[in-house]
Structure 1
Amino acid sequence: MMDYDLWLILIEISNYQKIKLIKKYKTAENVYNNFENILKENEVVRKKLKNFQKEDLNYAVLKLKEVIAREKINYITYANPLYTEKLSGILSAPFFLFYKGNIDVINNKSIGVVGARKCSSYGIAVTKLLTKELITNNITLISGGARGVDSIAHKTALENDGYNICVLGCGIDIAYPTENKVLFSKIAEKGVVISEFLPGTRPLRENFPKRNRIISGLSSGVVVTEASEKSGSLITARLTLQQQKTVAVVPGSILYAGSSGSNKLIRDGASICTDKEDLKSLLSLEHIDIGPMNFTPEKSEILDLITDSPIHIDDIFKNTSVDRGALYALLFEMQIKSEIICLPGNYYVKTI
């Protein structure tokens, strides 16, 4: 039996044209049954599908059905009300999404947390801290499953029993990066992993900007914790701003190239996230608690270690009894209060 949705997914016309056909004919089956008339009436489709017969895709549809059955993949198209409600406003909306997990999660209020693949210890600490606060406010975390900030945010959401939406830049049957295969499986147990690419699609460079527009489309707002000027997270942020949604950016050292992109987002109009009240008001959170953690030594002792001469994070750690995670949290708090700054290479100095 023909799977009409998969047939329309496989036709090589634009998402825009597929959505236009669904708006007119309501279902993929109706598109299939009226295909000859569509070719006569729609010049764009006729030119794109020159010498194409609708039966030409029968074998490809069968093969795709076998793959999604074997890999336990589900899919949703624009004809589904659940899909239309959430994604109809996205720039160049995809006609379909393949997914693993609970697709209903896309209806949750979600905030994107994005940033650099090669992030600093500061970026790691900030990402963990802010993601945890989002989860405690019953916000669903959405990110792109990449190395660095994305993976840290996803893992932190899982550790705090939160919901995840992971948007891939490759086929949903491909784990990229490969070390995240288990992570993606865990996300799908409670949340959802989604992709607009056909199974088997490799993680090509051009796929990721397309992926980013879906992150921005599903998000109520986006937090950028750390990003260089070449970071793909800047695309997500700018698309989010175009949709008049909030982009909250954590400032970084002006001496660290890894923060240059995020700092320039602030310069160009994104909102700055300097303390807990910023995060609360920018993202309309019910409660927030990223105050200092309970630990010893006291903050004054840390400030005694950090002087006008740069000191490495490892040396700070060696000279305190504080847990490394707690230390990162404290350093983050001190930076957003402009008490210290982080230099390239994880060196810290007291502000003058």
Structure 2
Amino acid sequence: MNDYEIWFACAKLSCNIKNKLINKFKNVQNIWYYSTHDEKCTYINEKIKNALLYAWNKENIKSIKDNIEKNNINVVTITDELYPKALKEYDDSPYMLFYKGDIDRLNKNKSVSIVGSRDCSSYGVNITNIICNDLSRNNINIISGMARGIDSIAHKKCIENNSYTCAILGSGIDVIYPRENKNIYDEIIKNGCVISQFPPGTKPYAYNFPIRNKIISGLSEVVVVIEGSEKSGTLITASSALEQGKDVIAVPGNVFSKQSKGTNKLIKDGAYIFTEMKDIYEILNMNYIKNSFNNNSKMTSIEDKVYNKINTTPIHFDEVLRLTNIDIKQLYEVLFELQLKDEIMCLSGNYYVRNNKTV
């Protein structure tokens, strides 16, 4: 990393223009030379030249370099081999990425993005846990945005499984947002990666997140949308994915739930519908094999107690809680385990039903 690379990364030019300049002049030193010393260069117009000259602020460049060194931040540019190959396919990918953790893993395994509502329901939480648990056990990278709600649930499940997850920030790599996710941030770095295209110190401005969403979708082969209102930022990620030619699969939900209005609309507009894990693996062109431990594991006494209250007629969580008289937090955990063992299914509206197994 040198001063020219930081200068170019901080220039107020679109990613598309920056990539065109790189393709034309091969490296940032040449861009610097032609923008400052060659008045006959017609490829760099006055508007671009002024933006480049304005960005040459030695104090700002030094401040960013000091921040990078002080906070052990890694840097990769689009011309480096380590730069995620999935992003190199797009003309508007950022010239520079700031990161912590293992970014190379993104170039080795398949990746799936998990996005959804910040104000998620228990149904959304359960579905997120089931999807992430299965994908992580099959060494599939899980990408998300470390926001409240579904994003955080996805990252936590990967951390719990000691599997790879990558968080894309809408702020500088050293600005943790939301603040309560500091523990998630620290844990992700141990076995995954945190990435930002924004220079260190950048605050989480609202206009950063649609830009961030393009990276979330761009890194993955499929975007899974788990809950989102009609005006949710989640739909921006889905839209970015479609523009990039990526597949979008949405989890259907209760037609009366505001958290499901966005996902239901995506399905109505042509997105793939999620009904079982096999749906995601088919999009990834992978054979789906259910985890054998699920079917072979015997039920514990408390799991058996809960299972006996659930049959082929859907029953609401509150009714299961009343009939079993189990602590609410523990009941959620037991229900989740029963889903992993393929004994029951969680339906929209927080209803549960026995899984109708067929041989």
Query: Does TM-score exceed 0.5, indicating one fold?
Result: yes
Are the equivalent residues in 2 in contact too, given 1:184–1:193 (CA < 8 A)? yes
Farther-moved stretch of structure 1 (96-105 vs 139-148): 96-105
Gaps spanning 5+ residues in structure 2: where?
355-359
Pair 1:324 & 2:308 matched: no
What's 2:248 paired with?
247
The Cα of 1:144 is off from its aligned counterpart by 0.4
Cα deviations across residues 255-301 of structure 1 (Å, max 9, x unaligned)?
21111111111111111111233233233344343778843147563
What's 1:283 paired with?
284
What's 1:59 paired with?
59
Are the equivalent residues in 1 in contact too, given 2:84–2:103 (CA < 8 A)? no
SS at 2:248 equivalent: strand
Equivalent residue runs for 1:252-267 within 5 Å:
252-267=253-268
Are the equivalent residues in 1 in contact too, given 2:171–2:202 (CA < 8 A)? yes
User: Whole-Å Cα distance in 1 between the matches of residues 45 and 321 of structure 2?
Assistant: 63
The Cα of 1:52 is off from its aligned counterpart by 6.7
What's 2:29 paired with?
29
The Cα of 1:245 is off from its aligned counterpart by 2.5
User: Whole-Å Cα distance in 1 between the matches of residues 35 and 128 of structure 2?
Assistant: 50
The Cα of 1:189 is off from its aligned counterpart by 1.6
AA in 2 matched with 1:24: K
What's 1:175 paired with?
176
Are the equivalent residues in 2 in contact too, given 1:317–1:324 (CA < 8 A)? no
Structure 1's 8 and 52: CA in aligned 2 closer, same or farther, altered over 3 A? closer
Are the equivalent residues in 1 in contact too, given 2:101–2:193 (CA < 8 A)? yes
The Cα of 1:216 is off from its aligned counterpart by 0.7
User: Whole-Å Cα distance in 2 between the matches of residues 184 and 42 of structure 1?
Assistant: 45
Q: So what's the TM-score if we normalise by structure 1?
A: 0.86
Structure 1's 121 and 25: CA in aligned 2 closer, same or farther, altered over 3 A? same
Farther-moved stretch of structure 1 (124-133 vs 269-278): 269-278
The Cα of 1:157 is off from its aligned counterpart by 0.7
What's 1:69 paired with?
69
Specify which of 281, 301, 310 is matched with residue 302 of structure 1.
310
Gaps spanning 5+ residues in structure 1: where?
none
The Cα of 1:95 is off from its aligned counterpart by 1.5
What's 2:357 paired with?
none
Are the equivalent residues in 1 in contact too, given 2:129–2:154 (CA < 8 A)? yes
SS at 2:245 equivalent: coil
Are the equivalent residues in 2 in contact too, given 1:125–1:325 (CA < 8 A)? no
What's 1:120 paired with?
121
User: Whole-Å Cα distance in 2 between the matches of residues 85 and 304 of structure 1?
Assistant: 47
Structure 1's 130 and 6: CA in aligned 2 closer, same or farther, altered over 3 A? same
Q: State, as a whole percentage, how many aligned pairs show the same letter.
A: 40
What's 1:272 paired with?
273
Structure 1's 97 and 326: CA in aligned 2 closer, same or farther, altered over 3 A? same
The Cα of 1:319 is off from its aligned counterpart by 2.1
Pair 1:130 & 2:113 matched: no
AA in 2 matched with 1:23: N
Q: So what's the TM-score if we normalise by structure 2?
A: 0.84
